[in-house]
Amino acid sequence: MADVATLREQVRGMVITSDDAGYEDARRVYNAMHDRRPEVIVQAVDEADVIAAVRFARDNDLELAVRGGAHGVPGYGTWDGGLVIDLGRIRYALVDPDGRTVRMGGGAVLGDMDHATYVYGLATPAGFNSTTGIGGLTLGGGVGAYLSRKHGLTCDNLISADVVTADGERVTANAEQHDDLFWALRGGGGNFGIVTSFQYQLHELNDFYGGPIFFELDAAPDVMRTFSEYTTEAPRELGGFVGFHIAPPLPFIPEDRHGDTLFALVASWSGPGERAEEVLKPLREAGPIVAEHVGPVPYPGLQSAFDALLPPGLQHYWKSDFVAELTDEAVGVHMEHGPKVPSLHTAVHLYLVDGAVHDLGADETAFPVRDARFLLNIAGIWPDPADNDANIGWVREYYEAVHPHSGYEGGYTNFMAEDDQDRTQASYGPNYDRLQEIKARWDPDNVFHLNQNIPPD
Ligand SMILES: Cc1cc2nc3c(=O)[nH]c(=O)nc-3n(C[C@H](O)[C@H](O)[C@H](O)COP(=O)(O)OP(=O)(O)OC[C@H]3O[C@@H](n4cnc5c(N)ncnc54)[C@H](O)[C@@H]3O)c2cc1C
CA of 189 to the centre of ligand 1 (A): 9
Is any atom of ligand 1 closer than 6 Å to the C-beta of 240?
Answer: no
- List, for residues 307-354, the tens digit of each pLDDT value: 999 999 999 999 999 999 999 999 999 999 999 999 999 999 999 999
- List, for residues 381-430, the tens digit of each pLDDT value: 999 999 999 999 999 999 999 999 999 999 999 999 999 999 999 999 99
CA of 178 to the centre of ligand 1 (A): 24
CA of 100 to the centre of ligand 1 (A): 24
Q: Which ligand 1 atom sits closest to the C-alpha of 128?
A: 8
Is any atom of ligand 1 closer than 6 Å to the C-beta of 287?
Answer: no
Amino acid at 287: G
Q: CA-to-CA distance for 234 and 225, rounded, in angstroms?
A: 14
To test the pocket of ligand 1, the residue of 36, 67, 113, 266 to mutate (highest count of ligand atoms within 8 Å of its CB) is 67
- List, for residues 180-224, the tens digit of each pLDDT value: 999 999 999 999 999 999 999 999 998 899 999 999 999 999 999
Measured by CA distance, the residue closest to atom 53 of ligand 1 is: 71
Is any atom of ligand 1 closer than 6 Å to the C-beta of 125?
Answer: no
Q: Please tell me the chain's helix, strand, coil percentages from 3-state DSSP, rounded to the nearest 5.
A: 35, 25, 40
Length of the chain, in residues: 457
Q: Which ligand 1 atom sits closest to the C-alpha of 163?
A: 42
CA of 135 to the centre of ligand 1 (A): 6
- List, for residues 81-134, the tens digit of each pLDDT value: 999 999 999 999 999 999 999 999 999 999 999 999 999 999 999 999 999 999
CA of 70 to the centre of ligand 1 (A): 7
Is the pTM higher than 0.95? Answer: yes
- List, for residues 241-276, the tens digit of each pLDDT value: 999 999 999 999 999 999 999 999 999 999 999 999
pLDDT score recorded for residue 80: 97
Q: In the structure, how many helices (H) and strands (E) does the chain have? A: 14, 19
Q: Output DSSP code: residue 109.
A: B
**How many other CB atoms sit within 10 Å of the CB of residue 100?**
16
Is any atom of ligand 1 closer than 6 Å to the C-beta of 68?
Answer: yes
Q: CA-to-CA distance for 214 and 292, rounded, in angstroms?
A: 6
Is any atom of ligand 1 closer than 6 Å to the C-beta of 72?
Answer: yes
Q: CA-to-CA distance for 284 and 277, rounded, in angstroms?
A: 10
